[in-house]
Amino acid sequence: MSPTTKHFLLEALGEERFEFLPGQFVSFLLPIPVPDPTRSYSMASPPEGTNRFELCLNRIQGGPGSAYLFGMEPGAEVPFTGPWGVFAMRRMSEVPKVFIATGTGIAPIRSQIRWLFKQGFSGEAWLLFGVRNKGEMLYQEEWKTLASEHPNFRFLPTLSRPDVSWNGERGYVQVQLEKRLKGRTDMEYYLCGRGAMVNEVSGMLEGWGVEKKRIKHEKFD
């Protein structure tokens, strides 16, 4: 998907269905020479009622876990456990929703958004997605298509290090959130990305008076 990002399609061998909630993750037990060979990754696809699921992984410089997974060939097998995690969408409601992601934090957000619209969601929904440059804007055409098919869905990409060819929004997701949705306490907020972003956005929302139960998050560090 980019020089450092891959999209994986996996299936749970021996299982007819692999059940999980949108936003959950699996943990791999990798054959790598480290004290803790467990590596956890969020599902990037919604539950489909099959044994298949998708992941979106970033290769970490010097990271043995991502190096191993990036080196796998089609058909390779790796043991995993799960699903795990509380960053899960347990039911569909028409409450307006804002999804805020940076980098591969888009993975569980993609699972949640695709599941919502498969369920017939008709409420207001926003995706604020922040990356450094155009090459890191994952699933961009998919988001554009979803926005064209569903007038209630707004896709707002923003770049923190754009080049001169970029005509869209600039800066961090925090800037766009304040610019577009400041004071909205009627919405549910789903945040995923680096801890610094999640902490700052959570603080902003609480400062606006958003109830803590309306703020769900997953940190990727």
SS (H, E, C) 21-46: CCCCEEEEECCCCCCCCEEEEEECCC
Is 101 exposed, middle or buried (CB count within 10 Å of its CB: 0-12, 13-18, 19+)?
buried
CATH of residue 29's domain is 2.40.30.10
Return the pLDDT at 117. Answer: 97
Q: Give percent above pLDDT 90 in the chain.
A: 90
- Asked if 108 and 186 sit in the same domain, the reply is yes
- 89 within some domain: no
Neighbours of 219 (CB within 10 A): 15
In a domain? residue 90: no
* Structure-token pair, residue 34: 């480290």
Number of domains in the chain: 2
pLDDT in tens, 83-113: 999 999 989 999 999 999 999 999 999 999 9
pLDDT of 63 strictly over 80? yes
Query: Quick one: pLDDT band at residue 220, thresholds 50, 70, 90?
Result: confident
CA atoms within 13 A on the CB side of 107: 28
pTM above 0.85, yes or no: yes
HSE toward the beta carbon, residue 104, CA cutoff 13 A: 22
Same domain, 190 and 118: yes
The last residue of one of the domains, among 84, 118, 145, is: 84
Whether residues 49 and 132 share a domain: the answer is no
pLDDT digits (tens, 9 = 90+) for 11-40: 999 999 999 999 999 999 999 999 999 999
Helix (H, G, I), strand (E, B) or coil at 178: helix
Q: Which domain holds residue 52?
A: 5-84
